[in-house]
Structure 1
Amino acid sequence: MILSFFVHVISAFFATIFFSILFNVQKKHLIACGIIGAIGWGIYIVGVLNNYSDVLFTFLGAYFVAQGSYFLAKYKRAPVTVFLIPGIIPLVPGIGLYRTMYALLFSDHTKALEYALTTFQLSGVIAGAIIMAALLPLLFRPRRQKI
């Protein structure tokens, strides 16, 4: 189980770096992108290997990727999207879309609906996690007084 975890995390690290190269991320940011993507995927895999909810751990992984991206953007003085877009790639539910289309191809509409609903849930929690990471700090900052 531990070996499987490390294989997943290392694979996510390299996949994130390769997507970063595809998105023309500067060389100085590649390792940081890879680390963010690997940790986000690692959080998801911990939940999957322990038979917890895919939706919950996708949310937690995406939230960490978003928060880490905002932190790295300030620390490295780069746009947030440099770290956020490649970092979120491992969590995107591509297999769910594939399974949905495959089930539709063979007229298994019940399975297709099941896969589609799961895929939409995962996509929704990824978007929700990114929005929460962007908006939560705004709730806790002090308000400016009017002059």
Structure 2
Amino acid sequence: MMYINNFIFAFICTIGFAILFNVPKTSLIKSGFGGALGWTVFTLFNYYFDSIVMATFIASLIIALIGEVFAILEKRPLTVYIIPGIVPLVPGFGLYYTMLSILERDYDLAISYGSESLLIAISIAGALTIVLSLNSYRKQRKKI
């Protein structure tokens, strides 16, 4: 039941961000689905493997793959589906606590939060890079 609630709340959250980013109305549901599925995958992997970085990488990979499929089917830019879907995974809490720890002069905790946030950001970028590279390879093979 917890995963269904997570899916619903992430769906609503992703649609909210999609509206903020002026995603076309016809793409809102698909964008929300991608973000909700990504967040659900994130919570599943984080629970079972207890690694927030790996869970973020897998969830970003799923969001990028789904966004790629929707972009091809709907003939829209990939960013319409990926950007709102990735927003729930961005490590805002980690960056906030990093800055708070620096202000409180607790540098060990700041390094811990900061390094985790950096690894999460790198895992998001890595997953997106992999999927975009696969798409580029697919387009090159199609031309041949």
Structure-2 residue corresponding to 1:123:
121
Count of matched residue positions in the alignment of Structure 1 and Structure 2: 143
Structure-1 residue corresponding to 2:73:
75
Structure-2 residue corresponding to 1:110:
108
Q: Amino acid of the residue matched to residue 46 of structure 1?
A: L
Q: TM-score, normalised by structure 2?
A: 0.92
* Aligned-partner Cα distance in 1 for 2:26–2:142: 36
Structure-2 residue corresponding to 1:39:
37
* Aligned-partner Cα distance in 2 for 1:44–1:134: 20
Long gaps (5+) in structure 2: none
> 2:22 is paired with a residue of what secondary structure?
coil
Q: CA deviation at 1:144?
A: 6.6
Q: CA deviation at 1:125?
A: 0.6
Q: Where is the helix percentage greater, Structure 1 or Structure 2? A: 2
Q: TM-score, normalised by structure 1?
A: 0.90
* Aligned-partner Cα distance in 2 for 1:44–1:143: 33
Q: Deviations over 1:21-70 (max 9, x none)?
A: 01111111100000000001111100222242111110010011111111
> For residues 25 and 144 of structure 1, do their structure 2 counterparts lie closer, same or farther at Cα, with a shift above 3 Å needed?
closer
Q: CA deviation at 1:95?
A: 0.7
CA RMSD of aligned residues (A): 1.7
* Aligned-partner Cα distance in 2 for 1:8–1:120: 25
Structure-2 residue corresponding to 1:6:
4
Greater alpha carbon shift after TM alignment, 28-37 vs 4-13: 4-13
Structure-1 residue corresponding to 2:63:
65
Q: CA deviation at 1:98?
A: 1.0
Q: Which has the larger radius of gyration?
A: 1
State the percentage of identical aligned residues: 36
> For residues 143 and 6 of structure 1, do their structure 2 counterparts lie closer, same or farther at Cα, with a shift above 3 Å needed?
closer
Structure-1 residue corresponding to 2:26:
28
Q: CA deviation at 1:11?
A: 1.1
Q: Which 4+ stretches in 1 moved above 6 angstroms?
A: none
